[in-house]
Structure 1
């Protein structure tokens, strides 16, 4: 130690090829340079050489210190509070160092901070060590009684690892000196590992244990991840992953294993643990966010197929877990969080676009249906106040294709009201005998609605009597408080040339039914020549 600053012995040994004595004379080559026949020394080092009783401990300021003094030394209180530094700062006990190093950073032998850190960044680094909570679920197919073993095993594992991790944090903080524990790479102790120095009978035991633990975790990922990918591919949840469902003669998903190896190799090539763990943390949190959100939604919506057996489960815990996942994602590394959420949203939209549906359904669709049901139940079925009135249209589609296209083009322009649009068409016939014809007419109507970009609902009604069908539509269209208050019917242009009285009767009957239902009536004329919404019309005004 030089005062409050540890010395970078690793860089010194690499440069001078020997280990110096931790005295003022032994460390002089680190901080003093000969320039133009004159000796120039680092300001802080030079001041420390003059102090022979450092802070009344009876030892000089340039000295050796015990890296692991033990619990009885009282270093616990030195390590109790956080002391974060910025990049290129010198590692020191001082809150504000009075002198900066006179040497160029690349040539100096103090220990410099290479990366900024904070509590949340450290959470992102540490989080992957606590991500085995889904291990039991991933092996549910191999368990005799999964519903009993998974909760007990998961909770037991969480309690055990929590005790071990917290014990390690407390014991390290109570036994290791402040400067040694803050020395990220152990440069002041020749890159020695703290836990290895405490190992019995030899530090190699810890090195072997770390190696085996790392290999074991890697092998666990290499065995679990490919099978999970193969299961997703087999379920056809994400269609473009279907090629990964292939298995060899031994039942091994070779392609999935190769993809997993490629992903692992990318992580190895990055080689900066802070960047790797921060990225991995985001995807783990995205996974847990999806699980918690799915559990909360299924419980809130009371889905018939969702029957959790764990007696202490409650949807509020899952919702709290979702909120915490999002919070930790953005606090630890917001840029990675944005990337992870964008990737997750893209995968979801791809699944929605590709139409990959399995028997477990779509949770968000269930949420929409539940919200729609709640809204309809809370819309009171009573007359609206004049300030809240808006046109809710019931459009009676005509028989003629030309009139139908013109009427739909007219209706597509009625957007400012932001009201409900119901489009209905009556067809005379026997529904039992001609149900296929109704389905064909419904598909044609669907194409017309999309062509004219009408935001509304539609249906086909097959009845034995057209007029009775109109009466039925005017009376029953809508749902609950969401009902029509305006009937739109095209003016029958053909009644002047047609000799059939039924054309007149249908039109007049529609008007009478709308009047009886106390609805407003829109009767557009010459809809056949109404400009389509797909055609651009240019008006030229001559003055």
Structure 2
């Protein structure tokens, strides 16, 4: 064994016997050694012969330690040391399996891209074992072929009492022509469904669950789970219906012999049904093989019964038979029975009575887990079975219609007098197609064999339903999409039979039989089956229509439009048979669907819903790309520079209120880290966690991250690459740099250039300042643990991840690190206070030279410490300082159960430690504020964005129904009233609801000495003498201010100071202040002066959103 990793310990349990196995599976398909030490009942069994049958037909359970040691085929060097020719593998069947297999001594896997690309992982640091994963692998057991498993079951389940007791009635009512149409229409619907099912079944391996598995893997858990429960219940109730029919037939035979059990009525039916149910339970519990043999025995009885009928047709009718209406093959009888003779029935009612007879063709598919090759057996057995039974039903229809009269008295005297059918006038006939259901018994060579056929057909159908219901329920329970039914997922040790499901089905069957009269239940069950068939057809259509590359059925004799036709006809038939029952069925399915849709089962089956989502998204994106932009269709699409979103929950939550249902939000993060393999691995893991974190907080947002040497470089990349087509950001929002006064010049310049970048790319720019919001009181109880970045997404099957991901996932933090620390993935968006150098005092000519020296030294230190792109792993995350910014807490479910969640004390400390000066309790942006006020200071015409954003915030979210107060400043007091009137008219024309409009004249606003003093205090830290800017090198040259610049922008500065005075006076108590900011002029305005303006507009104020549109209109008053 190669060194560096803990070998996986495998514990195999076989009916109480265990084996401890050491396995070295390889990620590249190389051989893996296995040393097995079996034990039986705790006693080592080395050197002993294993008992025969110990493994075959059993279920093996073993635990795998997911840290593996990759070895070569020769068992020597690690795979990463092998030449590329030894690493590459030819295509192998086992590479495409979804689960482990222990039938072979090795577990081959294809090499990962990292291994082929030459990535070497630090095995010592990545060898921390993950919690073991329990895997249940089903070994070979006796499976059924297509004849025994599918064909026989389909034939037995379709041929029922309808053939023996109702087919002659169809011939009497509808006649041979319309009766044939009834049969052919029913068979066509069934045949279309069989074609759709065959297509789905041949699109890869299918497991147990039958119809449920087919629908759920095609349409997803919402539809699949709904049909799974309904189908299981329908089969259980159907078993009771068939047993009641069997009991009724037995009771009729007993009455013919003047015998009964209790009262010759309902109680006798109950007793016979219960006894038969116990008998069927014993048969299915004996195992599927025994049940299959019982089905074959019933088939033999059924075949003999039908042969007896056909033989009787060839015999000349006796005098008694002729008196009962039997004419033998007769052209006159054929002619008379060709056309319909409706007696209280219609074509629809006859079709409704007959159609349930054709709904038993899924009996084979329902035991898909017990078939040798279900993808081959189900299509072949089902289609052949449907064809045979359709021909049989059609033949019996024509035979009865050709050999029997519609009406006969049964009296020999009437036969001799030629008055055999005269009783039809007063409807007193006892025999004939219209009046006697047991025509096949009369025409058969020996009547009791026909009765035996009736017994056989009902028992076989009941047996098939008794087996199908638990199988489907077991499959649903194992998928864990419904709570509280996991008890039924467990199977028997020997053959995985759903014994618990058998007992539940037995209980349901006994309870339904106890009702006695079940005629009202049968139509509802038929509708349940019809709904399943409709969804099978729709599943095939949807998968084909989505044009997913993964839908490649081997069965080619299908067409998506025929599948759609099948779905439509099945739905129509549901309402055709009984619109009330159909409505009940649809409501029941929709209730289950809505429940599952809200519950959101944690499954990923690659269903057609995902394929359709992708297809529709691409189609709509292309369609949107060709659409010209229009002001009426403008929507805010925001790129929010969050850094680590978990650390800026306040920003994310506030901005999500803007785009909740009106636009798009992208959380962008710049990762200043080396570009190497460990960084990429950490980025992949962190992206998964952030996406899950956003989902858990119900925030409709995307997450983008970009690796860059600097923050500005990363933001430029995000501005260019985020989004797709017309769904690209049109607004960039960032946080306010609180420490700009004390930060080094390089950081201030970089922040200023990011603002410029937003305008360069023609985006609206927003700056959110949260520092002045009052913090919420400390909670008595800690916030939910999932409110942090530690909310772990659902545990993915480790076998389905790339090998390099699996290897890296084992590199988790220790318990103390993972619980106590909450390290962020990348460095904070803005420099911390410890990184900033305070620059105080007014710069003069005497200290300018000294300051430049300090800046040069500091810049050199920054350049030395700045991470650079590299392909070497030695300088990536090996050192603690670099690795710390990538540490992510990974606690999977097993660790959480073992170590527990954070204690209340630790969690409170943790939450308090996370609070920073600019961290606002997220509850401020979740709970709706009553009688909220939004003040909008529309200082510059930016296209209307400064008004649209507060309007959207007032429509929904935490500021829903807030009052909008609009303020603006005009240059002169001349025409003051006219300007205010124009603004009110404009807002009304734009359909912006407001509660107040205030217009101020700039020349009438008094100066405030406190504001003036604040401005001089801010600017003094960045002011230098005139004619010295040209002597200063970057980055200081872009930050510092001289008198010439102050003179140039004097009017703007005065306007902003006056605006601050008004804001302090009028908006001190507002819940949100939105201020339009000026656009910074490139190569003319310094960072120091511009940030001083922003400081004046937002200091000592409530929540302030500094905003500027891109000068393109976002509002219009035209329709």
Q: Give the TM-score normalised by the residue count of structure 1.
A: 0.67
Return the match for 2:529 from 284, 291, 314.
284
TM-aligned CA deviation for residue 469 of structure 1: 0.7
Contact 2:642 2:734 in 1 (8 A): yes
Per-residue displacement from partner, 1:497-519 (whole Å, max 9, x unpaired)? Answer: x3333553343222222222122
1:120-269 equivalence runs, <5 A: 120-138=348-366, 150-173=378-401, 175-177=404-406, 189=430, 193-196=437-440, 198-234=442-478, 240-248=484-492, 251=495, 252-269=497-514
Please state if 1:520 is matched with 2:764: yes
1:130-529 equivalence runs, <5 A: 130-138=358-366, 150-173=378-401, 175-177=404-406, 189=430, 193-196=437-440, 198-234=442-478, 240-248=484-492, 251=495, 252-272=497-517, 274-347=519-592, 353=599, 355-357=601-603, 360-380=605-625, 384-397=629-642, 404-415=648-659, 418-430=662-674, 432=676, 433-434=678-679, 436=682, 439-440=685-686, 443=689, 447=693, 451=697, 453-496=698-741, 498-526=742-770, 529=773
- CA distance in 2 between counterparts of 1:219 and 1:170 reads 30
The structure-2 alpha-carbon separation of the partners of 1:374 and 1:262, relative to structure 1 and needing over 3 Å to count, comes to farther
3-state DSSP of counterpart to 1:523: strand
The structure-2 alpha-carbon separation of the partners of 1:354 and 1:241, relative to structure 1 and needing over 3 Å to count, comes to farther
- CA distance in 2 between counterparts of 1:345 and 1:431 reads 50
Please state if 1:83 is matched with 2:324: no
- CA distance in 1 between counterparts of 2:514 and 2:335 reads 37
The structure-2 alpha-carbon separation of the partners of 1:399 and 1:80, relative to structure 1 and needing over 3 Å to count, comes to closer
The structure-2 alpha-carbon separation of the partners of 1:151 and 1:397, relative to structure 1 and needing over 3 Å to count, comes to closer
Larger radius of gyration: 2
Please state if 1:534 is matched with 2:534: no
Contact 1:244 1:255 in 2 (8 A): yes
Contact 1:124 1:281 in 2 (8 A): no
The structure-2 alpha-carbon separation of the partners of 1:508 and 1:399, relative to structure 1 and needing over 3 Å to count, comes to farther
- CA distance in 2 between counterparts of 1:204 and 1:213 reads 14
My pick for the range that moved more, 255-264 or 301-310, is: 301-310
3-state DSSP of counterpart to 1:134: coil
3-state DSSP of counterpart to 1:361: coil
Q: Which residue of 1 aligns with 2:134?
A: none
Contact 1:246 1:253 in 2 (8 A): yes
Q: Which residue of 2 aligns with 1:3?
A: none
The structure-2 alpha-carbon separation of the partners of 1:231 and 1:394, relative to structure 1 and needing over 3 Å to count, comes to closer
Per-residue displacement from partner, 1:89-108 (whole Å, max 9, x unpaired)? Answer: xxxxxxxxxxxxxxxxxxxx
- CA distance in 2 between counterparts of 1:83 and 1:400 reads 74
TM-aligned CA deviation for residue 218 of structure 1: 1.5
The structure-2 alpha-carbon separation of the partners of 1:443 and 1:226, relative to structure 1 and needing over 3 Å to count, comes to closer
Per-residue displacement from partner, 1:70-111 (whole Å, max 9, x unpaired)? Answer: 4556596578336364xxxxxxxxxxxxxxxxxxxxxxxxxx
TM-aligned CA deviation for residue 472 of structure 1: 0.6
The structure-2 alpha-carbon separation of the partners of 1:537 and 1:217, relative to structure 1 and needing over 3 Å to count, comes to closer
Per-residue displacement from partner, 1:314-359 (whole Å, max 9, x unpaired)? Answer: 222222212222222233233333433344445556666363536x
My pick for the range that moved more, 233-242 or 279-288, is: 233-242
Contact 1:69 1:177 in 2 (8 A): no
3-state DSSP of counterpart to 1:413: helix
- CA distance in 2 between counterparts of 1:460 and 1:226 reads 49
Contact 1:299 1:315 in 2 (8 A): yes
- CA distance in 2 between counterparts of 1:383 and 1:400 reads 33
The structure-2 alpha-carbon separation of the partners of 1:192 and 1:366, relative to structure 1 and needing over 3 Å to count, comes to same
Contact 1:298 1:363 in 2 (8 A): yes
TM-aligned CA deviation for residue 525 of structure 1: 4.5
Q: Give the aligned CA root-mean-square deviation in angstroms.
A: 4.1
TM-aligned CA deviation for residue 470 of structure 1: 0.6
TM-aligned CA deviation for residue 468 of structure 1: 0.6
5+ residue gaps, structure 1: 1-64, 86-116
Per-residue displacement from partner, 1:227-254 (whole Å, max 9, x unpaired)? Answer: 4444554565656443223334553432
- CA distance in 2 between counterparts of 1:140 and 1:246 reads 17
- CA distance in 2 between counterparts of 1:231 and 1:141 reads 9
Q: State the aligned residue count.
A: 439
3-state DSSP of counterpart to 1:423: strand
Q: Give the TM-score normalised by the residue count of structure 2.
A: 0.35
The structure-2 alpha-carbon separation of the partners of 1:428 and 1:382, relative to structure 1 and needing over 3 Å to count, comes to farther
Q: Which residue of 1 aligns with 2:823?
A: none
TM-aligned CA deviation for residue 196 of structure 1: 5.0
Q: Which has the higher contact order (CA 8 A, sep 6+)?
A: 2
- CA distance in 1 between counterparts of 2:477 and 2:384 reads 32
TM-aligned CA deviation for residue 376 of structure 1: 2.2
The structure-2 alpha-carbon separation of the partners of 1:219 and 1:442, relative to structure 1 and needing over 3 Å to count, comes to closer
The structure-2 alpha-carbon separation of the partners of 1:444 and 1:500, relative to structure 1 and needing over 3 Å to count, comes to farther
Contact 2:323 2:408 in 1 (8 A): no
The structure-2 alpha-carbon separation of the partners of 1:437 and 1:481, relative to structure 1 and needing over 3 Å to count, comes to closer
3-state DSSP of counterpart to 2:633: coil
Q: Which residue of 1 aligns with 2:325?
A: 68
Contact 2:656 2:665 in 1 (8 A): no
5+ residue gaps, structure 2: 1-321, 410-420, 774-919, 934-962, 964-1119
Per-residue displacement from partner, 1:121-143 (whole Å, max 9, x unpaired)? Answer: 54444333212323443466666
Q: Which residue of 1 aligns with 2:187?
A: none
- CA distance in 2 between counterparts of 1:146 and 1:124 reads 32
The structure-2 alpha-carbon separation of the partners of 1:448 and 1:134, relative to structure 1 and needing over 3 Å to count, comes to closer
